[in-house]
Structure formats: C-alpha cells, structure tokens
Amino acid sequence: MKRIEYLKRIYEGRLIEINPKRLLITVPKDEFISALSTFKVNSFNQLTFVTAVDWIKESEFEIVANLYSRENRLNVFVKTRISRDNAEIQTITSIYSVAKKYEVELTEMFGIKVVGNEDAGKPFLLENWKSKPPLRKEFDSVAYAAEHYEARHAEEKND
C-alpha cells in the first residue's frame, strides 16, 4: 500500500476512495496521459477498459479508464472531460497497448477522433454504417431500427 499512499499524496485529495476496492480521480484533459503513466508506474499495470460517457446537456464527453492493480487488489477510475464538438483525444496505446480496440470503439460508437491510433476510424463492428455514431445520446435507436429493419407483425401467420 506504500504506492497508494504515494499516489494519494501527489494527487492531494483529488484521488477519492469510493469504497475499499475502488478509487476515483478526475483530471483535466491535458493531464490524462500523464496520470495514466503515473498510475502504471505505481503498480496499476492492467487496463480493464476505456470508454466514454455522453453528457449531452453539458455538451461534454467523459473519457473513463479503469485500471487495476494486482499487487494491491485495487481498481482506479481515471476520468477526464472533453468537448463534445470535434471531440478528439490522444491515443494511450503507448502506455497500455490493449487500448487499441477500445479506441476503435470510441471512434465507431461515439465519433471521438483518436489521434495516433491508425485503426480508429476503420469500421470494426458497424460495416457500411452511414448514420450517426449509435451510442451518442442524440441517436434515436428505436427510429433507426424501425426504419432499417423490417419487423414482423403479430397478426401475420406463417404456418
């Protein structure tokens, strides 16, 4: 736990303990990569996932990275906020190489541009997708499904 004490000291109260197994830190977007590097050096050497949360009313995306320290049996959520228009982040594959596919997903599902990841932007799950990125809040999934995928009507009989 010496490393956790050290991290708490350098982040001066910004590193919050949600429960004994989980920590949370919110950093400005310029510090995101350096925060991840700091956590990696201090025993958090597994990246569990990177994802985004769409805060449409505040016009912001929240990027969330979940790191795990096997040594201390502890999770940490590293969060940062970026602007929703022309959303763009730097790749974190140089720190955690497993982030590659998660960044592809950020581009495909949220339309967040990832600079430095050459796979991001190529279609992975949504081939021939011509609409908005589907996990953005303004995307209407019900209307899209009704328009593109023909439904079976209950009164129709096929026996």
Partner 1 sequence: MGRLDEREAMEILDQLRKRSLWMLHYCTACGAVELPPTMTSRYDMERFGIVPFVTSRQADILLVTGYINIKTLRRIVTVYEQMLDPKYVVGFGSCTINGGIYWDSYAVAKRLDLYLPVDLYIAGCMPRPEAVISAFRHLMRLIDEGKADGYRRYKDNYYWFKANQKKVLGE
What single DSSP character describes residue 108? I
Q: Which residues contact 47 (CB under 8 A, 6 or more apart)?
A: 65, 66, 67, 68, 92, 96, 98, 99
**Identity of the residue, 122 or 148, whose beta carbon is nearer to partner 1 in the bound complex:** 148
**Identity of the residue, 86 or 141, whose beta carbon is nearer to partner 1 in the bound complex:** 141
Q: Is 125 in the site for partner 1 (CB under 8 A)?
A: yes
- Minimum Å gap between C-beta 13 and partner 1 is 41
Stretch (H or E) spanning 10:
helix 2-11
**Identity of the residue, 4 or 109, whose beta carbon is nearer to partner 1 in the bound complex:** 109
Q: Is 157 in the site for partner 1 (CB under 8 A)?
A: no
Please give the Cα distance from 111 to 88 (Å, whole number).
9
Binding footprint of partner 1, residue count (CB under 8 A)? 19
Residues 127-156 that bind partner 1 (CB under 8 A): 127-131, 134, 139, 141-142, 144-145, 148-152
Please give the Cα distance from 152 to 140 (Å, whole number).
20
Please give the Cα distance from 91 to 87 (Å, whole number).
13
Q: Is 158 in the site for partner 1 (CB under 8 A)?
A: yes
Give the interface with partner 1 as residue ranges (CB under 8 A): 125-131, 134, 139, 141-142, 144-145, 148-152, 158
